[in-house]
A = this chain, B = another copy of it.
Amino acid sequence: MAKKITSKAEDYSEWYNDLVKEAGLAEHSGVKGCMVIKPYGFAIWDNMKTELDKKFKQTGHVNAYFPLFVPKSLFEAEEKNAEGFAKECAVVTHYRLKNDPNQKGKLIVDPDAKLEEELVVRPTSEAVIWNTYKNWIQSYRDLPLLINQWANVVRWEMRTRLFLRTAEFLWQEGHTAHATKEEALQETKQMLDVYADFAENFLALPVIKGIKTENERFAGAEDTYCIEAMMQDTKALQAGTSHFLGQNFAKAFDVKYAGKDGKEEYVWATSWGVSTRLIGALIMAHSDDDGLILPPKVAPLQVAIVPIYKGDEQLEQIRAAIEPLVKELLVKNISVKFDDRDTQRPGWKFAEYELQGVPVRVAIGPRDLENKTVELARRDTKEKNIVSLNGLAAQIESLLEEIQLNIYNRALNFRKENTHTADSWDEFKDILENKGGFILAHWDGTTETELKIKEQTKATIRCIPFDGDKSEGLCVFSGKPSKQRVIFAKAY
């Protein structure tokens, strides 16, 4: 029997929670605010990591590892960054527990083991990394420094949501140092392109590239570039950010380099990151009421083969018939599982693979054996066909490509259908209230207007898009001049 998934139309939020739970992706732990990423969820993250890591290396980056803890004095060095994260950080104050003298078997914090200086559990690593870079950079020969780290970070959250908002999450953070502003800006842009390419071509997630307003900028950045995606409830989700940090951290940590002319200059910096939040985006962008729909490139399992049989002899006949297909798929680097478990019925298996978003399902029974056919089902459209076993591996290979593309196009069409332009305040409110989605509207460029719009509608400026219409106009709220339309939406 299919597990119980609340329908998307009925309650989008519960639908999401049910999917995460029933597909075995993650769960809340006994540790407040922290999640357990279950094996199937982690396999998706592992695939994302492998692909991103490859792209980072192709663009000249190397991995390293920096400490989990940031001493308070380092944490506060870059003032804006510190201010941005101070309100949500876990603080280590002691380094020992001892037996509770009043309760046998219980422990208490040992007051004699108080740290001289408190340690912040990293919410992001600029401080600890720039304190290190200080010793690594002396001359222009040491630049650029192009380093990435895969790590866990902690940002204290009271209201959590699996993958989307948890106290601890997994991410990668790139931290680069450059001799010139131009080079740092180019890196910021390059990494945004890497993220956009990854989102669109690997996760089948269409994204809009743009720049954040001052108000939405990363604490300590001069500029934050981002990719924004639309979920199926038409809300926006920030899927990745790339920050141009200017010389803020170089100045805070006194990181200078001697140029070819011997002159000392502060170093220019970038940082960029994506997190396990992307798993949330993946689920919310593509899935349906029967379960996950995973793009083949990120799916831990691409093809499930389910035998329909009575007795061992028939099972062995099916196994023999299917074996060449399995081998051919593996040669093509397509992951495949022949599910011969006798503890579950075929119908249960079908539902389970649907729930898990396995892109292609093959079923084969006694009649298929006679006819040398199988039933080939695709998860994205639920289409089923009886096809010949002959040439099936090649057919599945191209079907997987087709599914990848179809999932992307479906999400792109959905975004197009739910993107509107508003030219007056009434129109803006009407769209938000009755249609939702992305609103392209003129904005006067002030934080004041931005905050008033947010206050009245909960919509925020997702980004000032790089591409598209650049014509000038009048702010939808204040009527003041505007240089281009920006994207408003309610967001995760």
Binary interface profile of A, 115-143, with partner B (CB < 8 Å = 1, else 0)? Answer: 00011110000001001100100000100
Judging by beta carbons under 8 Å apart, are B68 and A34 in contact?
yes
Tell me the bound Cα distance from A35 to B121 in angstroms: 15
CB of A274 closer than 8 Å to a CB of B: no
Q: In the complex, what residues of B have CB within 8 A of residue A90's CB?
A: 69, 92, 94-95, 119
**A22-51: which have CB < 8 Å to B?**
27, 29-32, 34-39, 41-43, 45-46
Tell me the bound Cα distance from A14 to B82 in angstroms: 38
**Given A38-B64, A105-B79, also A94-B93 (CB < 8 A):** yes
Judging by beta carbons under 8 Å apart, are B106 and A31 in contact?
no
Q: In the complex, what residues of B have CB within 8 A of residue A168's CB?
A: 67-69
Tell me the bound Cα distance from A66 to B168 in angstroms: 10
Name the contact of A67 in the complex, choosing from B35, B69, B93 (C-beta under 8 A).
B35
**Given A65-B170, A68-B152, also A97-B107 (CB < 8 A):** no
Judging by beta carbons under 8 Å apart, are A29 and B91 in contact?
no
Binary interface profile of A, 288-313, with partner B (CB < 8 Å = 1, else 0)? Answer: 00000000000000000000000000
CB of A431 closer than 8 Å to a CB of B: no
CB of A447 closer than 8 Å to a CB of B: no
Judging by beta carbons under 8 Å apart, are B120 and A97 in contact?
yes
Tell me the bound Cα distance from A46 to B95 in angstroms: 30
Query: Interface range on chain A: under 10, 10 to 19, 20 to 34, or 35 or more?
Result: 35 or more
**Given A86-B97, A86-B98, A90-B92, also A29-B67 (CB < 8 A):** yes
Stretch at the interface among A70-78, A188-196, A328-336: A70-78
Tell me the bound Cα distance from A132 to B37 in angstroms: 11
**Which of A79, A95, A151: most chain B CB closer than 10 A?**
A95
Judging by beta carbons under 8 Å apart, are A95 and B88 in contact?
yes
Name the contact of A96 in the complex, choosing from B29, B70, B93, B156 (C-beta under 8 A).
B156
**Which residue on B lies nearest to A170, using beta carbons?**
B65
Name the contact of A31 in the complex, choosing from B67, B87, B135 (C-beta under 8 A).
B67
**A50-65: which have CB < 8 Å to B?**
62-65
Q: In the complex, what residues of B have CB within 8 A of residue A98's CB?
A: 86-87
CB of A394 closer than 8 Å to a CB of B: no
A interface residues, Cβ below 8 angstroms from B: 27, 29-32, 34-39, 41-43, 45-46, 62-72, 74-76, 79, 82, 86-99, 105-107, 109, 118-121, 128, 131-132, 135, 141, 147, 151-152, 154, 156, 168, 170, 343
27 intermolecular pairs with C-beta atoms under 8 Å apart: A27-B132, A29-B132, A30-B74, A30-B128, A30-B132, A31-B74, A32-B71, A36-B65, A36-B66, A36-B132, A37-B64, A39-B147, A42-B63, A42-B65, A65-B170, A68-B121, A68-B152, A68-B154, A68-B168, A75-B107, A82-B97, A86-B97, A86-B99, A88-B96, A90-B92, A92-B92, A92-B93
